[in-house]
Structure 1
């Protein structure tokens, strides 16, 4: 295989070191993760890791993004991370299909001091995205929702992202199952999305082996 490989096993000790030295410690998000585990134990793994939350905030500040769309709020860790980093007047429009998780997350949006800059849309995300202006007006988008829906969300969002705007897609390695010769339906959907995004000439992208795989894509000039 060309190039060098310098992967470090993500032991609990390495993970804690990464969180601490990457300034990702966050008591509020840690509490939200615990409450999520208590209320939704079967799907609590969907909670955003602390280091990824720190990365989202960093990228919002780095790009000075003020118009953000998120697909997949869940209980709100990623929403808080995005909204905290907004410049004055910025907003996050977040899509979530399940009102139960929104109910859990809403008080944490308030406690994080970001509720006034977050617009929560409960319902099918495609309906929300299709109702947005068709112009390239978004600075940053974050996709972290149902995996079979990724292609549809991507196709609705790419044309709406301004030139040099940023698209962030989570779980693009899907626990490594994307390289399984016989992946299950979700892993197969992620693999299909990855192939589609890789061939999309509207963007320049990289895939990062962090968390569960993160794809970062820059919208090329139209």
Structure 2
């Protein structure tokens, strides 16, 4: 199970963290509260994580971004609100049901025109972008999709991101299961392998931080 708050912080300290740092627009709060009632609510990104993504987008001056794994749209809405008026998100997902919620909030927030949602396997969408000469044209990417394909997604996204661009990958601490040797399921092993490969990847500058369920920041050299 993934987490919708930063790992291992006592509740009182986590609440304090939010109280002195979270600046959550009302529509994001409404979306978060609606998603909390969803049967797959554990897939929701934490609010401090959404704010951090928006901060990074502003910090690097991103205009053209990718998202792999939309769910109900909290991260994409956070990023869309942070983008300049001409900014765009190309968002990949396979669920019409989950992304219908996202679309509703994108419309309410007035950012639907910034988001190009592609309902297809992400590898197909990414390979199509590369075939359309979109290599090194994206500034920022957020990967939060099926863990077994993380490294495949990463390799494709790395080709699409410009030098100096940033890739952010979610769930890399996997609720601590990556450290438990007796846990050998496909997703956990995929994340372990992914983390190890990125540690050795000289094409990027790397930082893994313990926000939410663990975020890897990979800056393309």
TM-score (norm 2): 0.91
Name 2:153's counterpart in structure 1.
153
Q: Displacement, 1:143?
A: 0.2
Q: Distance in 2 between matches of 1:205 and 1:116?
A: 32
Partner of 1:163: 163
* Corresponding residue for residue 3 of structure 1: none
**Count of aligned pairs:** 211
Is the CA contact 1:151–1:193 (under 8 Å) kept in the aligned structure 2? Answer: yes
Q: Quick check: 100-109 or 12-21, which moved more?
A: 12-21
Separation (CA, whole Å) in 2 of partners of 1:127 and 1:94: 13
Q: Tell me which residue corresponds to 2:105.
A: 108
Structure 1 residue 180 corresponds to structure 2 residue 177: no
1:150-188 Cα distance to aligned partner (Å, 9 max, x none): 011001010111111001000000001111112222111
Higher RCO structure, 1 or 2 (CA under 8 Å, sep 6+): 2
Q: What's 1:5 paired with?
A: none
User: Is there any run of 5+ residues in structure 2 with no aligned partner, and where?
Assistant: 1-6
Q: Secondary structure at the match of 2:116?
A: strand
Give, in whole Å, the separation in 2 of the partners of 1:49 and 1:95.
20
Q: Could you state the TM-score of these two structures normalised by the residue count of structure 1?
A: 0.91
Distance in 1, matches of 2:107 and 2:26, equals: 15
Does residue 1:15 correspond to 2:14, yes or no? yes
Other-structure match for 1:198 = 199
Deviations along 1:43-70, whole A, 9 cap, x unmatched?
Answer: 2111111100100110000001001000
3-state SS, counterpart of residue 131 of structure 1: helix
